[in-house]
Amino acid sequence: MAAVVGVSALVRQIAHPVVVQGQSMEPTFTDGQRLWVTEAYWLFGGLKANDVVLVRSPEDGDVLIKRVYGLPGQEMDWDAPTLQQVGNRRYVPANAIFIVGDNPEVSVDSRDFGPVPLNHVIGKVLQ
């Protein structure tokens, strides 16, 4: 029985389905669309700009699906809360990412609550 539980946990880390809820990632993904997510995203190249990720919201813990716009230490062109400022330049803090929805008119994302700690990343959408 322990072997079955272990294999099940491994399979879940490699890929499991999730269902999109809401319109914040339209037109890329639509409400009700099924996606495959890996928790073992380091096996698939780690996190890169433009990856789509599942994260826990730093505000309320809700699960969000968003696109990675900024990586740790990257200079940003947005004036968002909690970006580190050095002179006139703003940076994503170390150990955080800046995420945005593809539908900016309805998305609540890093433009609203700032960068998301890396330990809030749940997984990466496989495309």
Catalytic-residue membership of 66: yes
Radius of gyration of the chain (CA): 16
Mean pLDDT within 43-69: 93
Mean pLDDT taken over the chain = 86
DSSP 8-state code for residue 29: S
**Residue 23 belongs to domain with CATH number:** 2.10.109.10
Q: How far apart are CA 27 and CA 4, in angstroms?
A: 39
Which residue among the candidates 66, 107, 110, 124 is catalytic per the annotation? 66
Asked if pLDDT for residue 51 goes beyond 80, the answer is yes
| Residue 48 is among the residues annotated as catalytic for this protein | no
Domain that holds residue 31: 2-126
Catalytic residue among 24, 107, 110, 124: 24
Number of domains in the chain: 1
Question: What integer pLDDT is reported at residue 82 of this predicted model?
Answer: 62
